[in-house]
A and B are shown apart, each in its own frame.
Chain A
């Protein structure tokens, strides 16, 4: 394998957690709920998946534990913002603070442990195509799953009746409620889906990307996933594109650090964060105010009576 191929492979690995987390958040936001707690759910997913995977020596159980942890955190968020109509921004921040602390507690006994790499799934014939073959057809299962998930989320939102219901609730919850649509129930499941995806993204980080646990290992990826949803103007296909651009930026800056161009490593480490700001800025300049944002995004729902 050439270095070039190796770099391309790591870009895919770096992009996948961003993609999965952003897809989950996209569904949540399309239902009109802004969950800023992605970072917290993701880091909990990472800690719980790693703890479970090491304890039971099973990647599958690890992944399940990660998704469950993300979903449980999301359920807590749902209780606050749906049950109590609490401030969504504040609740999301609280979720992140809680997740960062709690994951430290859960992960503490597992610092220093390592997991074996997961065998890639080789799709015969197709993986023999030069360059792109190994890139697209010899990846781990999560990568394929994330692509399938992108398609499924797109189809669900745009081609199904249930997806239409979810979008109309996100656009205007008052009208949706007047039409008799179940605002709370749809939002609850959308929040839970977002949490499970963030948990899965965290599990991928801990079990595939780094294969160890360290406190706060998500390092702002949850926030970048949030930015991706805005960047993609709430469209799944563009989340995929954005995730891969950011994954590439992350990996290339790491390689640039290793190559020692004489640029301070801190400057290169800042690239993903600066890129996020620039991407949001360019998007806003091109389209004016955040386009595609659901009308009821972030507004607590209290039915008129």
Chain B
């Protein structure tokens, strides 16, 4: 027996949403099986991973804090992926955004600098991420270098840059030789939205990015241009859309949003620069973008769902002694399930027995 794929001519929104949910349930079942193989109870794990974080106000805040950078980055990536361009170096753009924005925070440290510091830091964060993202874009448009490999290689370079800075010139002299910078001044700190809360203004930026992107992708010529470039590059060329300009634009946008995520995380959440400022948000955001089907609202929901796996993973490590790697493995399984579900929506799968059918 074998099976055949036939492209579907009509694929509805309902079906797409249903496919995402089905993918999620399948991923959960597979993860449950893995946990069972490891000799633990899948039900207890489900309780720790999902139910407990959702029933605790502190965890709910934490959920938004963790979802914020992933939503920002994934929204940016959706521009690239829609145009069939592969920026997989968001992690590096995030780091460089944090570095450039953090530079101003350290530069103005201990001075009476006013209210202008924070906005300028955020702008520098966006600029840093955008410039780092433009490197692979420029190499692609000018020389035809594959953007997947260059954007990824630049992640390592960005991480080493940060590592050098916080161990070298930017290290806090009073920090007992710990590789970290001084703690940012209040003027350089992104404040929480509610006074006693943990959720900082990065969440507002993410919400704005969602709304703006929904308008741009759905209602403007630029949104149409991305879709056309991705789905039918030849048609896009005939329509007079320059593919080079599109490439530069989407890398600048996604890099800028990743940079904003980086500086928001550092100034709103961590409060200083240190060798590691991300548990892999830039890579996980790829999963988030796909899980959200490259749709801004979908990405918002997906970022919360994936944030849940991070928080659940942390408490499962403490309560069930389940290693943190399980979270990453689950994210991989989830992405695979989403891609498979995608195919189910795009193609009708028919099983054909040998001799019959064709």
Residues of A near any B CB (own CB < 8 A): 36, 40, 76, 80, 83-87, 89-91, 93-105, 108, 215, 220, 223, 226-227, 230, 264, 266-267, 269-270, 273-274, 276-277, 280-281, 284-285, 288-290, 302-303, 305
Q: Which residue of B lies closest to A268 (CB)?
A: B160
A90 and B335 contact, CB distance less than 8 A: yes
Q: Is B238 interfacial (CB-CB < 8 Å)?
A: no
Q: Given A76-B336, A87-B342, A97-B332, do A276 and B327 touch, yes or no (CB 8 Å)?
A: no
Chain B residues contacting A270 (CB-CB under 8 Å) are 156-157, 160-161
A89 and B335 contact, CB distance less than 8 A: no
Chain B residues contacting A273 (CB-CB under 8 Å) are 153-154, 156-157
By size class, the interface of chain B is: 35 or more
Q: Is the interface of A mostly helix, strand, loop or mixed?
A: helix
Best-buried of A84, A96, A264, A303 by chain B (most CB within 10 Å): A84
Chain A residues contacting B283 (CB-CB under 8 Å) are 97
B153 and A86 contact, CB distance less than 8 A: no
A80 and B336 contact, CB distance less than 8 A: yes
* B162-173 interface bits toward A, Cβ cutoff 8 Å, 1 = contact, 0 = none: 011001100000
A97 and B3 contact, CB distance less than 8 A: no
A84 and B339 contact, CB distance less than 8 A: yes
One of B52-60, B107-115, B140-148, B184-192 contacting the partner: B140-148
Chain A residues contacting B286 (CB-CB under 8 Å) are 90, 93
Closest-CB distance, A25 to chain B (whole angstroms): 12
B88 and A84 contact, CB distance less than 8 A: no
Closest-CB distance, B45 to chain A (whole angstroms): 13
Chain B residues contacting A276 (CB-CB under 8 Å) are 149, 153
Q: Given A108-B325, A266-B163, do A84 and B340 touch, yes or no (CB 8 Å)?
A: yes
Closest-CB distance, A292 to chain B (whole angstroms): 13
Q: Given A97-B328, A101-B328, A285-B143, do A223 and B339 touch, yes or no (CB 8 Å)?
A: no
Chain A residues contacting B88 (CB-CB under 8 Å) are 93
Q: Is B7 interfacial (CB-CB < 8 Å)?
A: yes
Q: Given A87-B342, A90-B290, A94-B332, do A284 and B144 touch, yes or no (CB 8 Å)?
A: yes
Expressed in whole angstroms, the Cα–Cα distance for A89 and B149 within the complex equals 12
Closest-CB distance, B329 to chain A (whole angstroms): 3
Q: Is B287 interfacial (CB-CB < 8 Å)?
A: yes
A85 and B325 contact, CB distance less than 8 A: no
Count of inter-chain pairs, beta carbons less than 8 A: 151
Chain B residues contacting A215 (CB-CB under 8 Å) are 325
Expressed in whole angstroms, the Cα–Cα distance for A43 and B152 within the complex equals 17
Q: Which residue of A lies closest to B287 (CB)?
A: A97
Expressed in whole angstroms, the Cα–Cα distance for A99 and B332 within the complex equals 8
Q: Given A86-B339, A101-B331, A108-B325, do A302 and B161 touch, yes or no (CB 8 Å)?
A: no
Closest-CB distance, A184 to chain B (whole angstroms): 9
Chain A residues contacting B167 (CB-CB under 8 Å) are 266
Chain B residues contacting A223 (CB-CB under 8 Å) are 149, 152-153
Q: Given A267-B164, A273-B157, A280-B146, do A90 and B332 touch, yes or no (CB 8 Å)?
A: no
Chain A residues contacting B332 (CB-CB under 8 Å) are 40, 94-102
Chain A residues contacting B301 (CB-CB under 8 Å) are none
Q: Is the interface of B mostly helix, strand, loop or mixed?
A: helix
Q: Which residue of A lies closest to B333 (CB)?
A: A98
Q: Across chains A and B, which 4 residue pairs bring their CB atoms closest together, nearest first?
A: A98-B332, A104-B325, A101-B329, A101-B328
14 examples of A-B residue contacts, CB within 8 angstroms: A83-B3, A84-B339, A85-B5, A98-B332, A98-B336, A101-B326, A101-B327, A101-B331, A105-B323, A105-B326, A108-B325, A223-B152, A266-B160, A285-B143
Closest-CB distance, A266 to chain B (whole angstroms): 4
Q: Given A97-B328, A105-B329, do A86 and B168 touch, yes or no (CB 8 Å)?
A: no
Expressed in whole angstroms, the Cα–Cα distance for A230 and B143 within the complex equals 14
* B265-286 interface bits toward A, Cβ cutoff 8 Å, 1 = contact, 0 = none: 0000000000000000001101
A274 and B144 contact, CB distance less than 8 A: no
Expressed in whole angstroms, the Cα–Cα distance for A90 and B290 within the complex equals 8
A274 and B153 contact, CB distance less than 8 A: yes
Q: Given A86-B342, A104-B323, do A97 and B144 touch, yes or no (CB 8 Å)?
A: no
B328 and A284 contact, CB distance less than 8 A: no
Q: Which residue of A lies closest to B161 (CB)?
A: A266
Closest-CB distance, A44 to chain B (whole angstroms): 11
Q: Which of B165-202 contact A (CB under 8 A)?
A: 167-168
Q: Is B6 interfacial (CB-CB < 8 Å)?
A: yes
A84 and B344 contact, CB distance less than 8 A: yes
Chain A residues contacting B86 (CB-CB under 8 Å) are 89
Q: Which residue of B lies closest to A87 (CB)?
A: B339
Closest-CB distance, A43 to chain B (whole angstroms): 11
Closest-CB distance, A238 to chain B (whole angstroms): 16
Given contacts A98-B328, A277-B150, 4 further A-B contacts (CB under 8 A): A97-B335, A220-B156, A230-B146, A266-B163
